[in-house]
Chain A
């Protein structure tokens, strides 16, 4: 029972899982880099980022490179903690299922 409780509902989506993975190993990643990484549309990515932002796992920095807007994302302390808990839960599940 506790195994499933530790799995975070927010990370059910592969896309959100991918975003979090990228942010775990990179200080910050911009919108287009995430888009290429996950191979999804702007709208799709934006909505998933919104979900992560609302649960305060991800923070947004808006900036400019020349005249082009550049929005970068980075992971929050809470996000890091939630992701690690989720990872551990996944690992434990594999152990149990085996």
Chain B
């Protein structure tokens, strides 16, 4: 009888069954169509944006010279002036470009997998990303009104990092490490005020590209070859 238990146990592989259950529970409650290519595309947009922004800053005498110029010519309280500002426009274009390209690859992947992009898992992911992002956005907006421009760049990195750490429970778990790196970068940036653009280029550009490549290689490369 005992032998039979052993025999059956081996045949049904209870341990593997349990591992399978765990994997299925995890995968079904996370949004896994997030494409690595999205990360790479967003990263490239960020680098292109940073390159243009750097051009504007260098033309006006580097970070310190530029800030002096801004503080002389820009009325801090006037939001309209700020909206019309060259750097702000570059930032907006970069954000839109990054968002669209990131969206595109994830959309393509979810279509290939025949899973609705707007499903239960993606909705939950979006809500959990949005909470730290919106709170951070409002806070940084206030900082801007008070003229603390130097803290905007580190603030963006920190809040974005927090959003990613929060999101990692609802998508590929590796997003967590990208989040940690962004937070760390943002904190270091607090001691290098004025060099925000370079930190942005590393955080939003380089880190996204590295993360995206690793994810793409890990989850999509093999699948593409098999297909």
Residues of A bordering B, CB below 8 Å: 1, 3-4, 7, 12, 14, 17-18, 21-22, 24-30, 32-33, 35-38, 65, 87, 90-91, 93-94, 96-97
| Chief secondary structure at chain B's binding surface | helix
CB-defined interface of B12-38 with A at 8 Å, one 1/0 digit per residue?
101101101110110111000000000
Smallest CB separation, A13 vs chain B (Å): 10
Among B31-79, those with CB < 8 Å from A are none
A93 to B8, CA, bound (A): 10
Cβ contact within 8 Å between A35 and B114: yes
Given A33-B119, A96-B5, A97-B6, decide whether A90 and B18 contact each other with a Cβ distance below 8 A. Answer: yes
| Chief secondary structure at chain A's binding surface | helix
Smallest CB separation, B39 vs chain A (Å): 20
Question: Could you pull out 16 A-B pairs where Cβ atoms are within 8 angstroms?
Answer: A1-B1, A14-B20, A17-B17, A17-B24, A18-B21, A21-B21, A22-B24, A22-B25, A25-B25, A26-B28, A28-B120, A33-B119, A33-B120, A37-B24, A37-B28, A97-B9
Q: Considering the complex, give the chain A residue whose CB is closest to the CB of B11.
A: A12
Cβ contact within 8 Å between B14 and A90: yes
Contact residues in A for B15 (Cβ distance below 8 Å)? 94
A17 to B25, CA, bound (A): 10
**Which residue among B24, B25, B27, B119 has the maximum number of chain A CB atoms within 10 Å of its CB?**
B24
Q: Which of A21, A32, A90 contacts B28 (CB 8 A)?
A: A21
Among B83-114, those with CB < 8 Å from A are 113-114
Contact residues in A for B10 (Cβ distance below 8 Å)? 97
Given A26-B120, A32-B116, A36-B114, decide whether A87 and B21 contact each other with a Cβ distance below 8 A. Answer: yes
Residues of B bordering A, CB below 8 Å: 1, 4-6, 8-10, 12, 14-15, 17-18, 20-22, 24-25, 27-29, 113-116, 119-121
Q: Which of B5, B18, B22, B116 contacts A91 (CB 8 A)?
A: B18
Having A32-B114, A65-B116, one finds 14 other A-B pairs with CB under 8 Å, namely: A4-B4, A4-B5, A12-B12, A30-B116, A32-B116, A33-B28, A36-B113, A36-B115, A37-B28, A90-B17, A93-B9, A94-B15, A97-B5, A97-B14
Contact residues in A for B24 (Cβ distance below 8 Å)? 17-18, 21-22, 37-38
Cβ contact within 8 Å between B9 and A96: yes
Contact residues in B for A32 (Cβ distance below 8 Å)? 114-116
Cβ contact within 8 Å between B5 and A29: no
Smallest CB separation, A46 vs chain B (Å): 14
Contact residues in A for B20 (Cβ distance below 8 Å)? 14, 17-18, 21
Cβ contact within 8 Å between A94 and B18: yes
Q: Which of B29, B116, B119 contacts A25 (CB 8 A)?
A: B29
Q: Which of A17, A28, A37 contacts B21 (CB 8 A)?
A: A17
A15 to B89, CA, bound (A): 52
Contact residues in B for A90 (Cβ distance below 8 Å)? 14, 17-18
Contact residues in A for B120 (Cβ distance below 8 Å)? 26-29, 33
Cβ contact within 8 Å between A3 and B5: yes
